[in-house]
Structure 1
Amino acid sequence: MKTVYRSRIDWWIWATACFFFVVLIVAAIGGIGLISFLIFLIGFGSIFAITFFGVWYAVEGNELSVYQFCRPHRFPINKIKAIKSCKSFLWGPALSSDKLAITFTDRSVLKLSGPMYISPKDKERFVGQLLEINPDIKINL
């Protein structure tokens, strides 16, 4: 059974979106014209919609799927070595600074030497489900 976890969204992401829309409205009042306003509104709206709703995580069988911009990346749960809670503004498939750093036993899984950062809304349930599949994961929350 597939379990989906949405990404936590920090206030600063919402603040950035509001800032861009306020700038767009001020520009429209300043005289950029209706057509230009609509083009920018649709463009910015699409970018923010994809950013806000295009990041989620799914656990199905022995696979952790990380969706970023609606494109999945699959990782074997039995290759997860450790999960650590961290605060970081490093970019990854996460919309929050309150993240989980996932380290793998094999560097070829992630193709990076560092951990993967994600930010599920329900961290405890997410980690619990991963532990059910792979009880050897070291946890530091």
Structure 2
Amino acid sequence: MKIYKSKVDWWLIILIGCVFGYPIIDGILTNEYFLSAIFAFVLVLFFLLSKTIRYRIEGENLMIWNTKIEIKSIRKIYRTNNPLSSPALSLDRLAIVYNKFDEILISPKERNEFIDELLKINPSIEIQD
């Protein structure tokens, strides 16, 4: 089993820190501790969820959270900056097209190593840059 972590954009960390940090600080300064606690809880929850974004290659399957994709069913991989919601912490993403019409966006940190590992299992995957 090989595990690949998600790439994280630095600006995303700053954006999330500002969006959740401001209400936390404002709540403390205005004695609204309940508000601060809620935003701090959401910030910690986001941090914990972000640590679980991993892409695992187990045998002939690619596991992304609870989604299992047969590597033999992958038809194409291409680079994209699509901002749609996905299990990726970066906009520097890979789109994986599998089955007939399915597609998922991911952002492995070791992109080339990840693609090479998939190609070892399914050399017929079309790679587009």
Equivalent residue, structure 2, for 1:32:
32
Partners of 2:48 and 2:21 in 1: CA distance: 13
Q: Which residue matches 2:128? A: 140
Equivalent position SS for 2:28: helix
Residues 85 and 39 of structure 1: CA distance in aligned 2, closer, same or farther (over 3 Å): closer
Q: Secondary structure at the match of 1:90?
A: coil
| Cα 1:125/1:48, change in 2 over 3 Å | same
Specify the alignment match of 1:110 in structure 2.
none
In the alignment, residue 139 of structure 1 is paired with which amino acid? I
1:25-76 CA distances to partner (integer Å, 9 max, x unpaired)? Answer: 122112213x5533442343123321x2121100011000002xxxx21110
Unaligned runs of 5+ in 1: 108-112
Q: 1:92: how far off?
A: 1.1
1:89 and 1:97 in contact (8 A); partners too: yes
Q: Quick one: distance in 1 between partners of 2:30 and 2:125?
A: 56
Q: 1:98/1:43 Cα in 2 relative to 1: closer, same or farther (>3 Å)? A: closer
Report deviation, 1:133: 0.5
Q: Which amino acid aligns with 1:61?
A: G
Mapped contact 1:102–1:117 kept (Cα < 8 A): yes
The amino acid of 1:4's aligned partner reads I
Asked if 1 retains the 8 angstrom alpha-carbon contact of 2:23 and 2:39, the reply is no
For 1:65, the equivalent position in structure 2 comes to 63
Give yes or no for contact 2:86–2:104 (8 Å, CA) kept in 1: yes
Aligned to 2:6: 7
Instruction: Name the amino acid aligned to 1:21.
Output: G
**Corresponding residue SS for 1:136:** coil
Aligned to 1:21: 21
Q: Do residues 77 (structure 1) and 75 (structure 2) align?
A: no
Q: TM-score, normalized by length of structure 1?
A: 0.82
Q: Name which of 51, 73, 91 aligns with 1:53.
A: 51
The amino acid of 2:75's aligned partner reads K
The Cα RMSD (Å) is 1.7
Structure 2 counterpart of 1:47, which letter? F
Instruction: Report the TM-score when normalising by structure 2.
Output: 0.89
Letter of the 1:128 counterpart: D
